[in-house]
Structures are given as structure tokens and as C-alpha cells.
């Protein structure tokens, strides 16, 4: 599903944001990526979504070799990858339902298909009862679940969740994590970054640690101390 082979990304002469990183993630796997701010996690995600190109090394995602990726193929690649951020990036003047539908509208899907799909996705993130609410009427956890719904509405093969619980209290944080688990159970590969050790220990999933642009640890299921 995801293969990085000795990937290096250098922005300037001060050093590499990522240095000879090799990583293999299987389809349907749930992987937690940890590391301090500036460790290279965001650069890794930008490479996966092709916002950035590697300085050297090979990247293959979902059978697509990035060395052979043409600019016109990038939208197809990004349909395979949903992304959720710490800040929700919701449209304040649209309802929950309209925020999720927007991702399908810009993809050019027919109105009938959008009306059929959006309620199903809201049901997955446990927000069907909030479909007519506006973001300002929701809790932080609910807003993040709307963002997740929007990220998965086009059925991506991979979901990148970059510190999705960073601004949330413990209850709402775990509500979001449980939704990510459900999405993973449906067959989506999930990459999660978090600084929350309770979440890491709760999930009991594979943990990859990045420090100074290098993977220094790749541990299987089990408790882990950040």
C-alpha cells in the first residue's frame, strides 16, 4: 500500500527534513507515527500527498510509482488519500451535511449520488443527527468528526490523520480515535500522528518514531512510552 525506500528530502543546506527513510505500510494497517515538532512527520505526509517531491529515494503508494507520476495523475492519487488536520478547516457558512457534500461537489458527482452518500458517511462518524447544524453549534470533537467525514466521503484507500486530537479534551479525543478505528475496520489504511501517550497505549498498534528526519524505532503492537 505504502512504500518508501531510502527517501531523503532536503529543503536547504542546513540539513535534511527526512534522511534515507524506509517504511512499508500494509493495506488496512493502522500505524501511529510519533516524534517531536520538526522531526519530519509533516514532510513525510507532504511527500505522500505529492505536495512535495523527494530529493532522492523511491515512493510507491497504492501501486502508483511517484517517479512516473505525471501532473495530470496527481488528482487521481489524492482521491486515494484523505487528510485530516488538527484545525478542522470547515466552511462556517455551511451545515455539517453541506461541508461533507462540498468534497463531492468539487469532484463533480451528480446531486442524487451526493444526497445518497452524505448521510451514510455521517452515520459512520456518528453525526447523522447533526446534519443540519453549523460548525459553530458543534463541540470541537464533533467538528473534527465532520472533517473526518469530509476526508473519507470519496472512499480513499488511505487516511492521514495529522494530530487530529491535538486541540480536544480527553473525551472528545477518544470519540475521534474510535471513529478512526471504525474507519480502519472498514478497510482503510490509517496513518495517525499524536503526542498523546494514552491514545498510543489505548490503540495498541504499530508505532513508528521519527527523530531528526530519521526513523529511529518501528515497534509492533504494544505499550509504548513517548
Which is higher by pLDDT, 9 or 1? Answer: 9
In this prediction, residue 37 carries a pLDDT of 86
Q: How confident is the model over 124-150, as pLDDT tens digits?
A: 999 999 999 999 999 999 999 999 999
Give mean pLDDT, residues 39-66. Answer: 93
DSSP letters spanning the chain: -EEEEEEEEEEETTEEEEEEEEEEE-TT-EEEEE--TTSSHHHHHHHHTTSS--SEEEEEETTEEGGG--GGGHHHHHHTEEEE-SS----TTS-HHHHHHHHHHTTT--HHHHHHHHHHHHHHTT-GGGTT--GGGS-HHHHHHHHHHHHHTT--SEEEEESTTTTS-HHHHHHHHHHHHHHHHTT-EEEEE---HHHHHHH--EEEEEETTEEEEEE-SS----
Give mean pLDDT, residues 64-68. Answer: 93
Q: What's the whole-model pTM score?
A: 0.91
The CA distance from 184 to 226, in Å, is: 23
How is the chain split into domains, by residue range? 91-155
Residue 14 has pLDDT above 80, yes or no: no
Give mean pLDDT, residues 68-89. Answer: 89
In this prediction, residue 222 carries a pLDDT of 56
In this prediction, residue 166 carries a pLDDT of 87
Residue 157 has pLDDT above 90, yes or no: yes
In this prediction, residue 79 carries a pLDDT of 86
Residue 5 has pLDDT above 80, yes or no: yes
Please report, rounded to a whole number, the percentage of residues in the chain having pLDDT higher than 90. 78
In this prediction, residue 190 carries a pLDDT of 97
Please report, rounded to a whole number, the percentage of residues in the chain having pLDDT higher than 70. 96
Give mean pLDDT, residues 102-123. Answer: 93
Q: How confident is the model over 161-217, as pLDDT tens digits?
A: 999 998 889 899 999 999 999 999 999 999 999 988 999 999 999 999 999 999 999
Amino acid at each position: 500500500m505504502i512504500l518508501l525506500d531510502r527517501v531523503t528530502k532536503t529543503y536547504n543546506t542546513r540539513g535534511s527534513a527526512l534522511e534515507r527513510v524506509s517504511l512499508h505500510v500494509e493495506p488496512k494497517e493502522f500505524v501511529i507515527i510519533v516524534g517531536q515538532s520538526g522531526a519530519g512527520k509533516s514532510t513525510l505526509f507532504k511527500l505522500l500527498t505529492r505536495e512535495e517531491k523527494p530529493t532522492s529515494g523511491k515512493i510507491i503508494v497504492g501501486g502508483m510509482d511517484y517517479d512516473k507520476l505525471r501532473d495530470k495523475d496527481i488528482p487521481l492519487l489524492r482521491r486515494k488519500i484523505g487528510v485530516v488536520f488538527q484545525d478542522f478547516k470547515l466552511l462556517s457558512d455551511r451545515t455539517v451535511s453541506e461541508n461533507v457534500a462540498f468534497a463531492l461537489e468539487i469532484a463533480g458527482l451528480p446531486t442524487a449520488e451526493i444526497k445518497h452518500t452524505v448521510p451514510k458517511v455521517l452515520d459512520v462518524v456518528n453525526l447523522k443527527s447533526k446534519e443540519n447544524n453549523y460548525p459553530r453549534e458543534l463541540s470541537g470533537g464533533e467538528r473534527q468528526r465532520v472533517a473526518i467525514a469530509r476526508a473519507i466521503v470519496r472512499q480513499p484507500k488511505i487516511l492521514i490523520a495529522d494530530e487530529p486530537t491535538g486541540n480536544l479534551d480527553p473525551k472528545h479525543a477518544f470519540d475521534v480515535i474510535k471513529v478512526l478505528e471504525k474507519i480502519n475496520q472498514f478497510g482503510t489504511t490509517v496513518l495517525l500522528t499524536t503526542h498523546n501517550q494514552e491514545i498510543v497505549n489505548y490503540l495498541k498498534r504499530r508505532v513508528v518514531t521519527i527523530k531528526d528526519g530519521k526513523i529511529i524505532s518501528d515497534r509492533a503492537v504494544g505499550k509504548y512510552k513517548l
